[in-house]
Amino acid sequence: MTLEEKPRVLVTRRMPSAVLSPLYRACEVDFHDHSQALTHTALCDRLVEKDGLICMFNDRIDEAALSVASGLKVIAAVAVGVDNIDVPAAKARGIIVTNTPDILTRATAELTWGLLLAVTRRVGEGDRVLRDGGWTGWTFDFLLGTELHGKQLGIIGAGRIGQAVAAVAPAFGMRVVCAAWPRQTQRNKKPFECPVLSLDELLLTSDIVSLHVPLTAETHHLINRRTLVRMKRSAFLINTSRGGVVDDVALAWALDQRLIAGAGLDVFEDEPNVNRELAKKENVCLTPHLGSATRETRTAMGELAVRNVLEVLAGRSPVTPVSLNV
Ligand code: DGY
């Protein structure tokens, strides 16, 4: 790059122009202005000679992508989860990886409660019955749900989002427990006052189990046949973290066997595909990865990613770098 050349930045998905305008002022922007993702091959092709990358959680930034981008200095994920990025490989090449923590906490916690309420109070079933013209009138025992008051919410992954979900529970008269998840609890700066149980104890005693761990080798299929059988038959599973944390086939099996009462799922193992067995079940409420999908949050995520890129390309520290132990 000569002195007058602007740094080149690839943006892999459509984002509002107001969010990108500071980037346009300082950089030469290669903007994939589409809602569909680039293929991996196209992504690699467009990464050649880039200095910066703004990518989404479902762009795979692996060794192959990194190896074509010899001049890359910064990868700014518009996401908190960075399981799609080979962070150690990026760091080994001196590339700074950033994400967008905190600003999506509230939106994701709200959606978690949305799913939790929807599945315990059978909102999806009620909506379908009405639309299908199947409602014949009020009856005493129609679509009875589960009340939250006095129940136990088990948080697996008491990081920022897990804590924000937990904070709402007292308003519903619920008690909260969390699973001992050392890496996450250590990172928390705020004290999070709740009993810490082993994973098994949490599964055995909770009425709602809500997942908020990042997807890592350690958490992949954390919810599987062995862990599902530990849950109460009356319990509900909520997942707004990453699809890979739950073994979808095992979950469909557990629901078939009536080992748990239902599930609220925003994320799936093979997105955008949804396990067909899960999708057939009345006691499962599904949303298409909407955790951070509010106008306010997505705008803030985009702005933060842009800021991170600009800081690094100006030779300064990014606002929200990803540490190696994510
Ligand atoms: C994230 O931030 O990790 C979400 O899954 C994408 O919004």
Please give the C-alpha separations between residue 26 and each of 7, 90, 131, 311, in angstroms, as whole numbers: 8, 24, 51, 11
Q: Which of 179, 161, 172, 163 is nearest to 121 (CA)?
A: 172
Q: Choose, from 122, 160, 289, 307, the residue flagged as catalytic.
A: 289
Residues framing ligand 1 (Cβ under 6 A)? 57, 79-81, 104, 291-292
Contact 266, 289 (CB under 8 A): yes
pLDDT, one tens digit per residue, over 157-180 is: 999 999 999 999 999 999 999 997
Please give the C-alpha separations between residue 152 and each of 108, 177, 226, in angstroms, as whole numbers: 20, 7, 21
Distance 78 CA to ligand 1 centre (A): 7
pLDDT at 182: 47
Contact 258, 65 (CB under 8 A): no
Distance 173 CA to ligand 1 centre (A): 29
* Known active-site residue 289: yes
* Known active-site residue 187: no
CA distance 119 to 122: 5
Output the pTM of the full model. Answer: 0.94
Distance 108 CA to ligand 1 centre (A): 9
Phi and psi at 218, nearest 5°, equal: -75, -35
CA distance 122 to 174: 19
DSSP string, 96-107: EEE---STTHHH
pLDDT at 180: 75
Residues of the chain with pLDDT under 70: 1-3, 181-191, 324-326
Q: Whose CA is nearest to atom 4 of ligand 1?
A: 79
Please give the C-alpha separations between residue 245 and each of 63, 92, 241, 303, in angstroms, as whole numbers: 23, 27, 8, 29
pLDDT at 186: 46
Q: Could you give the domains of the chain? A: 3-101+295-313 (3.40.50.720), 105-286 (3.40.50.720)
Q: Whose CA is nearest to atom 1 of ligand 1?
A: 79
